[in-house]
Chain A
């Protein structure tokens, strides 16, 4: 069994001036990239599959050089192979197209993707991969139950505290939810050691080629990034800590 994990490097707490619109795309200037938290859970799920089914594991990312950090984390955790597709984009259809090219060669039985990234918050990549690679799909997977006769039985969240149990034929894309496996602590020593691992490059994200293949899907451009201004922004309670606590108690008392 071969398992591919698609990881993304994301910036955290980006100030407005660092989020730039570049040719209808968003790029982040002067920011470090960290592993998208849900993708870290996807790595743990892959390691569970490695342990349980002796799966061969490979982690991929689409990103610039500084996104390589996510692959070092994958190596340090115990993923067998890693590779990077060079390119900087937040557009999910571009990310998925870049991953697809590599995945067609890797031919995994399972592709694990976090349900969404912390920066874009859309959750599109898994669905695009399943369609583009003609694989089965399960979204918001919270439990890997059993592999049996070329089908994986999983549980997925469907909202409102409910879960659906389903089987998906392999090959399949599983968009995993946080909490699918416990996140294990990674020592600094292991991370440092992983940084000596050479990262295999899998070419560059060919944006114009992809645009030619999926022109309709790319019929949108980012115009402007801004800070949301809400009419109903909270009335802020100020003062020292004691005053704030007293005012809060009055509010609660007045409401109940």
Chain B
């Protein structure tokens, strides 16, 4: 067996999901996982290799022309060839947009199972048992995976804990792989990358308190209630994806995998079910207080405090009490 972890480019240097994956895998016996190799396509870890010290046995750095660095088709070509050189291989990817696109493509090419959105991976009886969510996280399924030829596993952010690299003076062996023209994309071409601008909106990444609304908002006419709450608490309003899809709040207010990653002191999740795509945008140290009328909502598995109630009836009560406290 050989294990590989694909390290996505990240502004913070080392992508947090990649760090969580190598942290978990580094503690698994070599007899089970085999050598553990990080794969970096491009130079985004240049000078930061030490962040992986003690966590991987080798770092493979693939040179890539600038125009292909963010082209998923090119990255899939690279990973298929490198990982495919081994006859029994495990490729771990983050369950991000890029990981979701890469996993099935590489798995189909190599003819090995793809286990997406994994939250647990235990070696057992020569194979593995993977746990993954179902039904928005209200249920989960255990899958028995045969590893005769390996598997592709995409791991949900936060499923495993990050470890601090070992204090060691050893450097990480780095294997440099030159770009091959055969990896060039044939079907897709990236024209450019843009970032959502704030356009006069507040920057939710700087808020100490976020009053975050989800589908439970029900109607955009209810928004003033939540804006008032945010104002009363000295916070800002943010939201989950459906609220943006419905055009009720701009994309700059969205928290999650496709929106912003936030680190307030308090994250008040109101009428938010707590799907993993949303939770991926909240730093793990944040204190989440959730209000949802569904007692089985997955958000209560992640929140520190929870209240089962209808937000449209609970928030007016909360605002009343805030007003009374301010006047008394």
A residues within 8 Å of B by Cβ? Answer: 11, 13-14, 16, 19, 24, 26, 41, 92-93, 115-116, 118-128, 130-132, 135-140, 153, 156-169, 172, 175, 177-179, 182, 214-228, 230, 232-237, 241-242, 244-246, 248-249, 251-252, 255-256
Any chain A CB within 8 A of the CB of B263?
Answer: no
B97 and A220 within 8 A (CB): no
16 contacts between A and B (CB under 8 A): A26-B134, A119-B134, A123-B116, A128-B108, A131-B108, A137-B188, A139-B72, A139-B100, A153-B191, A157-B97, A177-B258, A182-B247, A219-B151, A220-B130, A223-B142, A246-B321
B138 and A227 within 8 A (CB): yes
Any chain A CB within 8 A of the CB of B145?
Answer: yes
Kindly report which residue of chain A lies nearest to residue B244, judged by CB atoms.
A179
Which secondary structure characterizes the binding site on chain A? mixed
B260 and A124 within 8 A (CB): no
B103 and A234 within 8 A (CB): no
Q: Select one of B70, B112, B259 contacting A219, CB under 8 A.
A: B112
B residues within 8 Å of A by Cβ? Answer: 11, 70-73, 96-98, 100-105, 107-117, 129-130, 132-146, 148-149, 151, 186-196, 208-209, 233-234, 241-242, 244-245, 247, 251-252, 254, 257-261, 265-266, 275-276, 287-290, 298, 300-309, 313-314, 317-318, 320-322, 325
A169 CA to B309 CA in the complex, in Å?
50
Contacts of B72 in A (CB 8 A): 137, 139
A121 and B103 within 8 A (CB): no
A226 CA to B138 CA in the complex, in Å?
9
Contacts of B247 in A (CB 8 A): 182
A107 CA to B234 CA in the complex, in Å?
56
Kindly report which residue of chain B lies nearest to residue A118, judged by CB atoms.
B136
**Which 8 residue pairs spanning A and B have beta carbons closest together?**
A127-B104, A136-B187, A234-B306, A122-B116, A179-B245, A216-B111, A139-B101, A131-B108
Kindly report which residue of chain A lies nearest to residue B143, judged by CB atoms.
A220
B305 and A251 within 8 A (CB): yes
Contacts of A19 in B (CB 8 A): 134-135, 139
B97 and A159 within 8 A (CB): yes
A156 CA to B98 CA in the complex, in Å?
11
Contacts of B140 in A (CB 8 A): 225-228
A216 and B116 within 8 A (CB): no
A34 CA to B276 CA in the complex, in Å?
22
B133 and A228 within 8 A (CB): yes
Task: Tell whether A245 pairs with B317 under 8 Å between CB atoms, given A162-B193, A162-B194.
Answer: yes
